[in-house]
Amino acid sequence: MRQIAIYGKGGIGKSTISANLAAGFAERGLNTWYVGCDPKADGSMTLLGGRKIPTFLEQKKEGGKDEDYSVADGFKGVKCVEIGGPLAGVGCAGRGIIVAVHALYKEFFDDRIDIIIYDVPGDVVCGGFAAPLREGFANEVFIVTSGEYLSLYAANNICRGLNNLGVDLGGMVCNSREVDDEESSVSEFAERIGSKLVGFVPRDRVVRDCENLGRTVIEGAPDSEQAKRFRRLGERILENKKKNIPSPMAPEDIRELLRKRTGST
C-alpha cells in the first residue's frame, strides 16, 4: 500500500494537487483513498461534485462510534474522508489527526487499498501535523511549492522537520505562480536539498473553472492539457523510487538562489 503525504505552504494548492492525483489514480483502476487533514474539511469537495461531507471528528463529538462513520464515494470510487478539527484558536488539529487516523486504520483500512493520499495542512511540520509521519501512517512525502520565496521558505522548513524525523522526501511538485524562471528555480532548490522536482504544473484557468463546478480537472476537463499534466505527475509519483532524507538550506541561501535567477544583485 502506497501512503503519500502532501505538504506545503498554506494556499499553495495542496488540495488541488491531491484531489487530481486521487482522481487520476482511480481512473487507472487503483483503489484510492483521499484523507483530508485540514480543519476546514473542504479538500475533497472536487472529488464529490462540490459536496461537503461530515467530518470524522464531528461524528465523534456527537457520540458516534468509529465503525459507523460513513466514508463517502467520490469520482471513480475514490474513498473520501475528512478528519476535520477544532475551531481556529481552539484545541489541537494534530491531536485530532492522530485519533482519527488510528480509528481509520482499525475500522476501514485494509490490504485491498492501493494508495492513500493524506492532504496535510500547515507551513511547518509541527508535532501535531507530523502525525501521519511520526505515527508511521505515511511512508512517502511530496512537497508542493512554487518559485516564490515564501513558498520555498515553507518547503525548506518542512524539509527541516523531515530531517529531524528521519523521514524520506519523494520530491517536489511546483504549482506555478508564473514567476520568472520558476521551474528551474524549484529544480535547483530540490537538488540543493538532495531531492528532485517530480512535476511542474503550469497555471491554467481550467483548474479554477472545474473547481467552481465542484470537479477535479481529471473529471471536468478530461481531455485538456492540464488533465494530461496531472496524469503525468501521477505516473511519475507512482514510478518514483528515489527517496532521500532532505538536507534543508539556510534561509539566506534560498534568497540568494532566487536573486541569482532574477538577475538582481
Which residue numbers are catalytic? Answer: 9, 14, 40, 123
Could you tell me if 158 and 125 are in contact, meaning their C-beta atoms sit under 8 angstroms apart?
yes
**Cα separation of 158 and 47, whole Å?**
27
d(CA 220, CA 240): 27
Q: Which residue has the cell 514567476?
A: 179
